[in-house]
A and B are shown apart, each in its own frame.
Chain A
Amino acid sequence: MKTIIYTATLLISMLVNSQTAYEKGMTKAFALWGEQKTDESINLFERIAKAEKENWLPYYYAAQVHIITSFRIKGIDAVEPKLKKAQEYLNEAKTLSKNNAEILVLEAMLNTSYVAHDPAVYGPTLSAKVEELYQKAKAIEPKNPRATLYHAEWQMGGAKYWGKDPKAFCPEIEKAILYFENDKHDTPFYPKWGKDRISQVQATCKE
């Protein structure tokens, strides 16, 4: 009996050990991102993803770093390989977690990046796709704060372009604020970003 307890303790201690390795790795990858060492951060997320095998989060973040940084890079030629890689990561994440609203939101942002870099080429072909992805995300998780906020921002951009009132989407931002307050997950490192974007998006409503 005692032997069993010992063994169990031992196994748990090993498990805790590996859990910490994941946590340590993820924490370090976020830290690297914070230090603007984006390549290293992506590399570490990718390594964690490859080692974990069944966790979609490291792939999700590897893609996110590429996507977020892509908005700051100039020239579609420089951005394209990064966005293609990001799409590969998202595809991996999708196979590990089906019907995941968070992944769809990120995919919408990826396509938005294409549109932002070359509106003439990608605007007509990808706009409908971006819209579709946000709608799908909201259908899966109606109260997802990121889907609500970023979809509103995207729609406001469209309304401005077409000479319509972007303020029509302001109530959506109020909803998003509410959803952010209830945005709680037990899974460690579950996406919770986006709150700091509210004020920027809201600026239009206060004009």
Chain B
Amino acid sequence: MADTSTPNATSGSWALEARGLGKRYRRGWALRDCSFRIPAGRICGLVGPNGAGKSTLLGLATRQVQPTTGELRVFGVPVDDPAVMPTFAFLGQEKPLFKRFTVAETLRMGAELNPGWDAVAAERIVRSGNVPPHARVGTLSGGQRTRVAFALAFGKRPDLLLLDEPMSDLDPLARDEMSTLLMAEAVERGTTVVMSSHMLTELEDMCDYLLVVAEGRIRMAGDADALVPAHALVTGVTRDGALPPELDLHTVVETRLQGRQFQAMIRPKGPLPTDWETAEPSLEEVLLAHLRSPDAPSLYTQGARVEAEGTQAA
């Protein structure tokens, strides 16, 4: 997997590539100065608190929202070019479907509107969930409806699948079933998946690439395998009730004082004092630390950063 993190300079190997991307609504910037790259073939988690700009980012990638600044490319093609439409599929939070259509009609819609429709795959997904093809979508259970929405998305044979909190309204059983389905289909076809989620454990299980967004800016981007080891969770003794000055030699994400002790999430830039207790944090701990401190310096692993205008130093 490690070699996929830095594809060659040809932009076709990047599923998504943003340069100085920004979107401003009447209330202010929802997303600002975003420059990042997501390599093709990865399962990328899009993490951030509510209102961080995740949905805006997915909206920009699916042409639902037009950027105020910057540009976004999907497999090297500018997103405002209609040629990108067949290359991606999108599954929104609400998973909207025509409620009066039958399942078969919903799949027919997929066939009518998409040039590269894969009827066999779509039908297999529906069939394996025992969804009756002549039932109206409005009469299906939440899990069944999600399955139909997945069938519609995979039937399109997308190279990039964008998911906005796909599992949020599913019961644990259906969630497990859909995750398995998603991973199986994505791996089989080499589909790049970008999914936003609140479920940190879900991300830990499924994603090998991460994009962390907070307050409309990118906080972290890169390989999950590289992002976590870049951090250390250190515990030490405070000096006169304050943080020790040695801490300033490293990039500090978050600190916490507890009596005579301090605990800090840092990105070490050199050897750490021996009297500090060092632990490798879990992905969840790293993510939470970053989400709690949106002012911490952002981190990009190699390749994830776009050398362009509007990027801030790590």
A binds B: no
